[in-house]
């Protein structure tokens, strides 16, 4: 993925991905939802759950409904944000994705962030935080504190809505 393909080509490539073992057990690839053109905020979770795997849509289960309600309460419009995950395929039994699986999916996530160019990235939970900020980042210690990436975006770590 040296060049940034157009979004439609990215989606096609992502849907056809077989780079890791998760492709063997998924029902659908879950790319994300929201505006890929005007989003100022990208929210990144861990990986698709059962409902997401069945529908192919990010954050449509219980945690997604809570997240939607929170975003609405904060006066966000759907065009203001984009929601996606570290991995695009559901890990079996909703386990944490393995490092090898994440390594295969990170180029997809990097493309999404480069294409959308958000001002803010919200890491939803410890797994997203670990792969966006680094292994040493602890959600319980830095939740709610801005992490600046000058010239790129600001990062806001928070708990995953499933943990609430």
CA-to-CA dists, residue 98 to 4, 6, 57, 95, 128, angstroms: 26, 29, 22, 9, 13
Answer yes or no: is pLDDT of 51 > 90: yes
Average pLDDT over residues 68-94: 96
Return the percent helix, strand and coil in the chain, to nearest 5.
45, 15, 40
**pLDDT at site 150:** 84
Cβ burial of 54 (10 Å; 0-12, 13-18, 19+) is middle
Q: What is the pTM (predicted TM-score) of this model? A: 0.93
CATH number of 7-163: 3.40.470.10
Q: How confident is the model at residue 70 (pLDDT cuts 50, 70, 90)?
A: very high
pLDDT for res 152 = 87
For the chain, state the CA radius of gyration: 15
Average pLDDT value for residue range 135-159: 92
pLDDT number for residue 109 = 97
Of the pLDDT bands very low, low, confident and very high (cuts 50, 70, 90), residue 5 is low
pLDDT digits (tens, 9 = 90+) for 111-142: 999 999 999 999 999 999 999 998 788 999 99
Q: What is the pLDDT of residue 1?
A: 46
Between strands 153-158 and 147-149, the pairing is antiparallel
């Amino acid at each position: 993925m040296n060049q940034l393909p157009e979004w439609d080509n990215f989606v096609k490539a992502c849907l056809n991905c077989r780079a890791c073992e998760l492709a063997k057990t998924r029902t659908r690839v879950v790319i994300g939802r929201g505006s890929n053109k005007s989003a100022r905020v990208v929210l990144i979770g861990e990986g698709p759950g059962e409902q997401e795997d069945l529908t192919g849509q990010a954050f449509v289960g219980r945690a997604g409904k809570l997240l939607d309600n929170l975003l609405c309460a904060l006066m966000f419009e759907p065009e203001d944000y984009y929601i996606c995950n570290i991995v695009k395929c559901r890990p079996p039994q909703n386990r944490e994705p393995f490092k090898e699986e994440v390594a295969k999916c990170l180029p997809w996530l990097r493309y999404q962030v480069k294409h959308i160019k958000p001002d803010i990235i919200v890491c939803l939970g410890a797994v997203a935080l670990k792969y966006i900020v680094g292994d040493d980042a602890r959600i319980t210690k830095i939740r709610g504190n801005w992490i600046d990436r000058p010239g790129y975006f600001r990062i806001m770590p928070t708990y995953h809505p499933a943990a609430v």
